[in-house]
Amino acid sequence: FFIKVSLIYLNHLNSILVMETLILKLKHGRLYYENRYRPYLSGHTGTKYIYYCDYNYVTASNTYWDYIYCTKEGWVPAVQCHRGCVFNYVENGISPSSSRKYVQDQSIKVQCYPGYSLPNKENTIVCTESGWSPPPKCIPSTIEYCIKVIITYTLKLQMDKYPSDSVGKCGSPPPIDNGDITSFPLPEYAQHSLVEYQCQSLYQLQGNKKITCRNGEWSEPPKCLNPCVISEEIMERHNIMFKSIGKQKLYVPSGTMVEFKCKHGYVQATSKPFHTTCYDGKLEFPTCRS
């Protein structure tokens, strides 16, 4: 939502002028080039910001970053960050052969196993601001009657190479910053289970993307290295520009090499090379002088 504030003042001709400022609450997102979080933005007609969305949310254009404009009608786009939902697993139901991504307000049909149904007794789940509603989990249908069953069994003890399942099971996989597992998380995993991680867009995965459950413990998870942000303000400060004309990247993934050159009329002022590599959000910028 946004609030409209009107400011009335006199110009040098003593004419009354009215300037309208729109104040916006940016939900589930942040501004680029800002070290601190700003829950509210203000601007008048013509103001624009570059923003990106929090994890599990996407911009209106379904890209990693986008522009937001202040117009006479209000801020555009009106909803800056939409919830993204991944459909890849149905508990007690038929799971898809591959992961599928949906955005807020989209729905999908779920097929439960016989004797199971969704909590809402329907066959559709909806991607909402807080995730899937209801969750993709089929529960036993209402039991009409009960049958008493007596089971007789013999317990046979056997020492295996590995501990029993009750000992070797693992809990949920460890979380990582700016990344998540590719499958639907379970409350527990059997011995030797594998899970795979993936990073958010532009974040570079470092380490083994798959971890294994062994003796009740998960192996070391990977890391997601931060991308580097290259702003026009930073390049202006160092009197440099991209070597390739028309190559106006605002951000580059970790491990990517970027080449600069001096602006017209400037020469190199430091010994730092003009081709430099981004690593975990850090980039060494060369400097030029007039």
Is there a domain that residue 255 lies in? Answer: yes
Residues 204 and 253 in one domain: no
Domain that holds residue 260: 228-289
Is there a domain that residue 158 lies in? Answer: no
pLDDT band, very low/low/confident/very high, at 33 (cuts 50, 70, 90): low
Q: What is the 3-state secondary structure (H, E, C) of the chain?
A: CEEEEEEEEECCCCCEEEEEEEEEECCCEEECCCCCCCCEEEECCCCEEEEEECCCEEECCCCCEEEEEEECCEEECCCCEEEEEEECCCECECCCCCCEEEECCCEEECCECCCEECCCCCCEEEEECCEEECCCECEECCCCCCCCCCCCCCCCCCCCCCCCHHHHCECCCCCCCCEEECCCCCCCECCCCEEEEEECCCCEEECCCEEEEECCEECCCCEEECCEECCHHHHHHHCEEECCCCCCCCEECCCCEEEEEECCCCEECCCCCCEEECECCECCCCCEEC
Find the mean pLDDT for residues 236-245: 86
CA-to-CA distance for 129 and 121, rounded, in angstroms?
A: 22
Which residue type occupies 284?
A: E
Is there a domain that residue 92 lies in? Answer: yes
CA-to-CA distance for 124 and 138, rounded, in angstroms?
A: 11
Is there a domain that residue 145 lies in? Answer: yes
Is there a domain that residue 267 lies in? Answer: yes
Domain boundary among 223, 241, 256: 223
Q: Are 20 and 6 in contact (CB under 8 A)?
A: yes
**Residue % of the chain over a pLDDT of 90:** 23
Residues 18 and 58 in one domain: yes
Specify the range with the lowest mean pLDDT, choosing from 8-17, 39-48, 189-198, 243-252: 8-17
Quote the tokens at residue 186. 């379970």
Neighbours of 70 (CB within 10 A): 22
Residue 13 has pLDDT above 80, yes or no: no
Residues 37 and 59 in one domain: yes
pLDDT score of 47:
84
Q: How far is CA 124 from CA 132, 136, 147, 191, in A?
A: 10, 9, 32, 33
Residues 35 and 9 in one domain: yes
Please state the domain count of the chain: 4
Residues 69 and 124 in one domain: no
Is there a domain that residue 157 lies in? Answer: no
- pLDDT of 63-99, one tens digit each? 778 888 888 888 888 888 889 899 988 888 888 878 8
Enumerate residues 6+ apart whose C-beta is below 8 A from 72.
45
CATH of the domain at 121: 2.10.70.10
Residues 98 and 147 in one domain: yes
Residues 18 and 69 in one domain: yes
Averaged pLDDT score across all residues of the chain: 79
Q: Are 2 and 22 in contact (CB under 8 A)?
A: yes
Enumerate residues 6+ apart whose C-beta is below 8 A from 74.
2, 22
Neighbours of 117 (CB within 10 A): 19
Residue 18 has pLDDT above 70, yes or no: no
Is there a domain that residue 208 lies in? Answer: yes
Residues 73 and 108 in one domain: no
Q: Are 221 and 211 in contact (CB under 8 A)?
A: yes
Residues 148 and 171 in one domain: no
Q: Structure pTM?
A: 0.42
pLDDT band, very low/low/confident/very high, at 150 (cuts 50, 70, 90): low
Domain boundary among 53, 78, 103: 78
Residues 245 and 262 in one domain: yes
Residues 168 and 213 in one domain: yes
Residue 2 has pLDDT above 50, yes or no: no
